Amino acid sequence: MTRPNIVFVMSDDHAAHSISAYGSRVNTTPHLDRLADEGSRLDAVYCTNSICTPSRASILTGTYSHINRAPSIYSEFDYRVPTFPQVLQEEGYQTALYGKWHLGRSEKARPRGFDDWRIYPDQGAYVDPVMIGPDGEEQLTGYATDIVTQQSLDFLERRDPERPFCLLVHHKAPHRPWVPHPRYDHLYEAGTIPEPETMWDDHSSRAEVVRQVRMQLDDLRESDVKEPVPEELRGEAEARERASWKYQRYMRDYLRCVQAVDDSVGEILGRLEADGIDENTIVIYTSDQGFFLGDHGWFDKRLMLDESLTMPMLIRWPAQIVAGSRVSDMITNVDFAATLLEMCGANPSALPEQQGRSFLPQLRGETNPGWRQSVYYRYWEHDDPEHHAPAHYGVRTPTHKYIHYYNDGLGTPGSSDRVMPVEDELYDLAVDPHELINVAADPAYAGVLEEMTALTAQLQEEYGDAPYQGPNTPRLEWPT
Ligand code: CA
């Protein structure tokens, strides 16, 4: 069979529940929905460390953060483990990357394995962004999402039609500070957006360190909501009303940013069809993690709760995937590299350190014997200066979630040295799918807690990660 092409579109911080194919109550994403209608929608894809740089390093290498050593947004990726684009390039694929990289600013962290690339420095800017390429830096004119789309279309235009390609389209949207294109000024006006049912979660049973996290809607800055808080909403007594006011403006801009990403997917799909290559081109849409969209009263990510943990993933490949199919097995971002290599017929041993498994059988509607029944997660950054999210690890199964807040930076770049109390959370997802009631201290769940603790230890051993053993736990060395 002819080797397939890959278009891997990844946005930044795009939560699945703001895609209509995943049941968004608010916005409509017709082009993303098309991927779901004509391909597969994956319903249980989880990141293994819910923040930009680590998720990207895991996706590229098929490894957990403690293996690729890019555990925080302050990390410099150092290629101690190879990436799937490097493998595909060696196997004769034409490779290109446009958009957000965010794996470090040093020379050693620059993209490798790409015939062509243009990246933003760190997050980049929404309007007139600077982009770095093999020949240096230049400032471009226009809206970031549209620029990256055009760079991708230009690559498709000038590619060698005799060889397969792998194109990475990495949008910076809809990352904070959520600057939309003016063409969407008419959409999702502030005041019209329904509030999520968990927005007024009082967090009464959560770990103390989680209650202290500065990701409340009221923590959104003026630069996030684009106008000063009205005088009459500034008092202590108006906290709830002010959170609602900020939520409306935050979501308006977030959803408008998503709209341009949806356009991008539509334009690329259109070009593949016009070129007559869409049948054997795999189009993947995902995001580096999920995001709280006012859920539990929060914005941002980091925590292991489902809104942050879950990644959207839609895959269209008419040659191999039945239209409208669904995958419910638990998949992680560590599985992506193995899957992409198998799709392209590349040798999986080219990534010797990888810890993932290919889910291509599930995409073809086959069962994959011995597939995992649990997902190990670890957020390494600890007590960062803005959000103050605590370091934690844990396990999600289809029915339960265990989270252990060990609360120590372990020398991770960007973390504070502040050691906070060690706490646990346990959620019974079968009866509490919104994760509102922490049952870690409930005697009725003592047996489950014990099982989940043991499962965490077992997965740590399997993946070669070290459990936390108090403030004297040895510090790992991270490249900086
Ligand atoms: Ca992100």
CA nearest 164: which of 84, 86, 269, 94?
94
Q: What is the pLDDT of residues 402-416, one digit of tens each?
A: 999 999 999 898 899
Q: What is the pLDDT of residue 189?
A: 95
**Which distant-in-sequence residues (6+ apart) come within 8 Å of 13 by Cβ?**
52, 174, 175, 176, 287, 288, 289, 290, 291, 301
Mean pLDDT value across residues 398-405: 98
Confidence tier at 40 by pLDDT (50, 70, 90): very high
Task: Quote the pLDDT of residue 477.
Answer: 79
- Residue-wise pLDDT tens digits, 267-313: 999 999 999 999 999 999 999 999 999 999 999 999 999 999 999 99
- Ligand 1 center from residue 231 Cα (angstroms): 33
C-alpha 374 to ligand 1 mean position (Å): 23
473 compared with 267, residue with greater pLDDT: 267
Strand 423-428, strand 400-405: pairing? antiparallel
What pLDDT is recorded for position 411?
87
Question: Pairing between strand 40-42 and 313-316?
Answer: antiparallel
Backbone angles phi and psi of 132, in degrees to 5: -105, 135
- Is pLDDT of 456 > 90? yes
Distance 232 CA to ligand 1 centre (A): 34
* Average pLDDT for 162-173: 98
Give the residue, 418 or 438, on which the prediction is more confident: 438
Task: Say whether pLDDT at 152 is over 90.
Answer: yes
Mean pLDDT for the stretch of residues 439-463 = 98
CA 356 – ligand 1 centroid, Å: 21
- The average pLDDT across 355-365 equals 98
Give the mean model confidence (pLDDT) for residues 199-218: 98
pTM: 0.98
338: pLDDT strictly greater than 90: yes
Q: Determine the distance separating the centroid of ligand 1 and the alpha carbon of 162, expressed in angstroms.
A: 35
* Distance in Å, CA 57 to ligand 1 centroid: 12
For ligand 1, the distance from its centroid to the CA atom of residue 130, given in whole angstroms, is 19
What's the CA-to-centroid distance between 12 and ligand 1, angstroms? Answer: 4
Nearest to 97 by CA among 86, 82, 108: 86
Centroid of ligand 1 to alpha carbon of 71 (angstroms): 13
Least confident of 131-140, 377-386, 411-420: 411-420
| C-alpha of residue 368 to centroid of ligand 1, in Å | 30
Ligand 1 centroid – CA 52 distance (Å): 4
Q: Average pLDDT in the 469-480 region?
A: 82
For position 1, what pLDDT does the model report? 66
Q: How far is the CA of 353 from the centre of ligand 1 (A)?
A: 24
Taken as a whole, the chain contains a residue count of 480
Per-residue confidence band for 178, with pLDDT thresholds at 50, 70 and 90: very high
Contact 392, 406 (CB under 8 A): yes
| Amino acid symbol at 27 | N
Indicate if the pLDDT at residue 480 is higher than 80.
Answer: no
Torsions phi, psi for 178 (to 5 deg) = 55, 65
Look at residue 43 in the predicted model and tell me its pLDDT: 98
Q: Which two tokens stand for residue 268?
A: 């690329």
